[in-house]
Amino acid sequence: MTMSRPSHSALTFADAIELAAALMRGEARQRAVDALVSAGGLAALRRAMQTHSFPGAGGPVSLRRLVDSLDARTRREGLHVLHGWDFTRQRRPDDIAPVLLLDYCDRVGVPADRQRAAVAALLDEYCAAILALLTVRAWDEGDANANLDAIDALIRDVNGPDGSGHSVVDDAGTLLILAVAYYHPEEAAYDALVAKVWTLQPTQALRVALPGASVLASHLRWGLRFMYRNDVGRMREDNVVDYPWVLFSLLTIAAAVERSVLAGESPIRRAPLVAGLLDGLTADSRAFLGSAPAFLAHLAPQHAELRAILLRQRGLLLTEWAAFAPVRGSFSPLSVGCNFLSNAAVAAAVGAATVGTEHPTLNALMRDPRSGTAGESMDGELFARQLMEFSTADQGRLGAGGAPLIVYDPLDGMHHYNDVVRVLREASGA
């Protein structure tokens, strides 16, 4: 029998990592930025992004093969990581998101003395988009856990001293959430991806679950307030696709909390987990502490397991959550509401490119500094307020009904905290 051989043109995940590394590792981006500025600045960068070809020391560095191969696979699954959604025209734009971001910055205006800094920041945005595409392909072959680790290494390169200083996220787990954190008409693609995420080993799963819980809770809190006028039924009906992700995130974090308790670890050691669990439950605590909604029937065992852990650890959670109650003068992620995480990413990028606004990564919006995990030079509240100011500064940036796409409201955070505490106290084991 003659065995068929794989096509030499087939792109493996390892190949894709090496292609991306040629642009993202070491001084490659600095050389590319210098050459692009000399060739026309933003106009040259726009052409490079459209062709996926960038100047390099030994000739062009091309990511065309990577993009064509991985984007085609991703689109076949119903995901469109590089292209957003045009709500006005109800279709996908022709240009990829980094090009549209560049065009917007160009319209806003980039001062002459900021051309190089803007090119560098927007190139790093392009790199983040390519790495986001890689995150959703981590299950294509080999060990997805190791593949996500490889993306983590490239994120560290992009965020390192050879970059622009404009860092988008800390890790691959957050980038995976950002990759799909905008509207997709093909909703079945979300379920297919979260089914893959459930297969991650516990440590890697937790790296996805913590940002996932925070991002989706922020998204649903924003929607409940601004889109659904506090009608939970309407919110659930319109966001069915988000709940399996929330369930994965909450169960992964809750299981880690219980392992910590059984291992006799101190409250300080599990503080980030406890804080993350609280944040995630603000998405819709009744959906996870009561009977499983009908749209989670296919995940009834996971829902029951989560609920059982929450009830077993009820006393401990109520005690340890008290340290993370939103209070004035201390940042709380519970006070952040964001339509889509991509809105926050765009706001941060525009500020960095056009006026040089300094900011931490988007992860700063997801961490309570009282949990002992925050190490940013800027606190989350200042960052959140900067993003809110950007979102309200122009009528064209407002959502439907004039709602700001990013809000920071400590009173809203207090309301959500009190609601979760009340629901857990009232939850029955029956």
Q: What is the Cα–Cα distance from 190 to 424, expressed in whole angstroms?
A: 29
Kindly give the interhelix angle for 188-197 and 243-262, rounded to the nearest 10 degrees. Answer: 20
Q: Place 251 in a pLDDT band, splitting at 50, 70 and 90.
A: very high
Mean pLDDT for the chain overall: 91
Give the tens place of pLDDT for each residue, 118-147: 999 999 999 999 999 999 999 999 999 999
In terms of C-beta density within 10 A (0-12 exposed, 13-18 middle, 19 or more buried), how is residue 392 classed?
Answer: middle
Q: What is the Cα–Cα distance from 359 to 365, expressed in whole angstroms?
A: 11
Higher pLDDT among residues 395 and 9, named by residue: 395
Question: Which residue's entry shows tokens 């959670």?
Answer: 317
Mean pLDDT of 363-373: 91
- H or E stretch covering 141: none
Question: Which residue's entry shows tokens 């160009």?
Answer: 106
Q: What is the Cα–Cα distance from 86 to 270, expressed in whole angstroms?
A: 41
**The pLDDT of residue 85:** 53
Residue 8 has pLDDT above 50, yes or no: no
Mean pLDDT of 80-104: 78
Question: Which residue's entry shows tokens 């680790």?
Answer: 149
Q: Place 372 in a pLDDT band, splitting at 50, 70 and 90.
A: confident
**The pLDDT of residue 121:** 96
Q: Are strands 53-54 and 406-408 parallel, antiparallel or unpaired?
A: unpaired
What is the residue type of 298?
H
CA atoms within 13 A on the CB side of 264: 0
Q: Place 1 in a pLDDT band, splitting at 50, 70 and 90.
A: very low
- H or E stretch covering 53: strand 53-54
Residue 429 has pLDDT above 90, yes or no: no
Give the tens place of pLDDT for each residue, 144-193: 999 999 999 999 999 999 889 899 999 999 999 999 877 666 678 888 99
**The pLDDT of residue 64:** 96
CA 185 from chain centre, in angstroms, equals 19
Residue 377 has pLDDT above 60, yes or no: no
DSSP code for 338: E
**Extents of the domains making up the chain:** 13-179, 201-430
Picking from 224, 183, 216, the residue whose alpha carbon sits closest to that of residue 403 is 224
